[in-house]
Amino acid sequence: MTRIFTWICVALLLTCTVASEVGFGQTINTVAGTGTAGFSGDGGAATSAQLSSPYGVFVDGSGNIYIADQSNHRIRKVDTSGNISTVAGTGTSGFSGDGGAATSAQLNVPYSVFVDGSGNIYIADVFNFRIRKVSTAGIITTVAGNGSFLFSGDGGPATSAGLAPITGVSVDGSGNIYISDQNNHRIRKVSTSGTISTVVGTGTAGFSGDGGAATGAQLSSPGGVAVDGSGNIYIADTGNNRIRKVDTSGNITTVAGSGSGVFSGDGGPATSGGLPSPTGVSVDGSGNIYIATQNNHRVRKVTVLTINETTAAAGLSGATTVAGGNEVKIFSIGLTGDGVANLNSVTLTISDLSTATGLTSSDFSALRLYRSTDATLDGGDTQIGSQSSVNIGSATTVSATTADTPPSGIERFYIVSAVISSGATQGHALKVGVAAGGVVTSGGSRGSAVTANDANKVTIGLTAPTLVTANSTALQRHLSITLDWSDVTGATSYTLEYANNSGFTGSTTVTGVTASQYTFSSPPADGTYYWRVKAVGSGVESSFSAANNFAIIPTFTEWTVVLLAMAMMGYMIWYRRRARV
């Protein structure tokens, strides 16, 4: 289920100014609120209801909208029919009601709301210093926080832990709860067993740690928190004017914001843009990031180009062979643009190039990264990356920087190819669609593994022989008739084919020739013949060589008889004529 959780800091009304993303055919509408602060409207149309300083909003998988109606100390719900109701809170600030109906419980300035895939509602009950949960039966309980404004409890029950004001809450697909513990400058996690721990932050305000463990990094007054479908954590690092990301390995990076508190950067890389005081963050199912910037009164979007499934290069499948010294397209990756974000770099980590033992690093002399000039694999390739050597059996990275801005919905192919050394071991297979990890940088970063396709392979083949016997050679029958060609490394035998026509119709084939020449034991009849040769190795064959032709002419003895006969006949004619005179 795609979860969209965006903090929108607006006065009195659930509307926002969207920068650079609302295009033709898109409109912005009010879905709840009249524009006048107050409380009214439950049971009727949400657009006729009053709200008071709504802060957080969440849309569940069915399209129901949940609103943290902050100053009314309630969580309101707008159903798919557009009607509004209260699902938690009495409207009076305070703390009460655990174990009973959520609509009879008191909340104290709810900031954030999240709904999991089962329909349970999680509330950041800010000044009660608690996370409250409303079950699908409508019963409210505390799942984190003991009500004290301090830091305590890591490693123990979450309900015994001290939390500072809580500005964000999110739940992953496994049911783990993530809490933005703002004044403690941490992101804390409540496991499904109810134990609380710190997963991001040292507890000291500041900025540090990118590229390392998130638990050793500094945050500054984090706001919203979100978790994507893969388990990556996104943090609105409010005081640092950044969006930070913690991957599933626990390492932290910045994916948006330069640290500047001045608005800038629309249309460019997200990490170069000014992002003043981001308070909320959300990630959609495609990996695009949505950011609420309170002081700029905007919702901004970081578009991440996606890495699609590996596509095997056209024509390179099954029993295809590639001779040493030639280049082979190993696989391609398609990137689909939305017309907004620039593709700043493509970095691929490539491994497992061989499906058979016996290949060494010397079997591959170069690895290249190409961008296809059109949306086909064979439409003419433009190299965009420098060559780098390939070490079989270990990861290899090749990267390139482009200035591409793929149009909306258009897929461009980036092709990785290898140059096979002329001395490569014949008969071994090379995967088309090898296992690879890719990272595309477009403001933020996104990595995606591309799957090996064992059904599509390229076999390292043999180079076709070069014919040595010159074209149009005349060979006399009385002499030994021998045809020569070049040796081919790795060949165990050769196959010779000859015919009296260039199309080789009705040709004669001689197999198992072990030398790089063939001598006719019984030459064919006089005339002109076309011939070609291919190399045969262990389980592989080369293509045929280019064809040459040769002519077989009568032997010296035959011509001598003919000439003597002609001479004798001429003498007899001359003698008879003279005798008559």
CATH number at residue 279: 2.120.10.30
Q: Please check whether residue 579 lies inside any domain of the structure.
A: no
pLDDT of 161: 97
What stretch of H or E contains 527?
strand 527-536
Tally of structural domains, the chain: 3
Q: Please check whether residue 564 lies inside any domain of the structure.
A: no
**Residues 144, 214 share a domain:** yes
**Residues 421, 320 share a domain:** yes
pTM: 0.60
Q: Please check whether residue 225 lies inside any domain of the structure.
A: yes
Q: Please check whether residue 562 lies inside any domain of the structure.
A: no
Q: Please check whether residue 125 lies inside any domain of the structure.
A: yes
Concatenating the DSSP letter of every residue in 422-460 gives TTPPTT-EEESS--EEEEEEESEEEEEEE---TTSEEEE
**Residues 479, 378 share a domain:** no
**Residues 320, 456 share a domain:** yes
Separation between Cα atoms, residue 568 and residue 572, nearest integer Å = 6
**Residues 284, 345 share a domain:** no
**Residues 183, 331 share a domain:** no
DSSP 156: S
**Residues 202, 69 share a domain:** yes
Separation between Cα atoms, residue 308 and residue 311, nearest integer Å = 9
**Residues 218, 181 share a domain:** yes
pLDDT of 7: 37
**Residues 343, 221 share a domain:** no
Query: pLDDT for 353-384, tens place per residue?
Result: 443 334 444 444 444 444 444 333 333 434 44
**Residues 498, 432 share a domain:** no
509: containing domain: 473-557
Separation between Cα atoms, residue 50 and residue 66, nearest integer Å = 15
Report which of 281, 334, 332 is spatially closest to residue 444, judged by C-alpha positions: 281
**Residues of the chain predicted below pLDDT 70:** 1-27, 304-461, 478, 539, 555-568, 570-581
CATH number at residue 521: 2.60.40.10
Distance between alpha carbon 113 and the CA centroid of its chain, in Å? 32
**Residues 159, 139 share a domain:** yes
Domain end (from 426, 461, 496): 461
CB-based contact 490:428 (threshold 8 Å)? no
What stretch of H or E contains 570?
helix 556-580
**Residues 198, 57 share a domain:** yes
pLDDT of 439: 39
